[in-house]
Amino acid sequence: MNGYEIITLTSKRGATSTEVIYLHGGAYVRTLVAAHWRIVAALIRHTGATDHPVLRPRTPVHRLRLLSDRIQAG
């Protein structure tokens, strides 16, 4: 998505038509940690949605405004 790496995850039972773009907290300091993956797994398990965690670079490489602009353009 506009220069950001995105992972696509779906339920083993098959995905619904719902899709979630997951922007985890603390992304500018750390990448996804175990707690984030548990949240993603729970979202998929409880909703059947396809989940798209966004892997974005940490500061000082990127800033929130740039991320927002890229998501809106994508």
Taking 80 as the threshold, does the pLDDT of residue 68 lie above it?
no
Taking 80 as the threshold, does the pLDDT of residue 74 lie above it?
no
pTM higher than 0.75? no
User: Is the peptide bond preceding residue 53 cis, with omega within 30 degrees of 0?
Assistant: no
d(C-alpha 41, C-alpha 43), whole Å:
5
Confidence of residue 61 (pLDDT cuts 50, 70, 90): low
Residue 27 is predicted with a pLDDT of 58
CA angle 66, 21, 57 (to 5 degrees): 40
Domain locations in the chain as residue ranges? 5-73
The burial of 53, by beta-carbon neighbours within 10 Å (0-12 exposed, 13-18 middle, 19 or more buried), is given as: buried
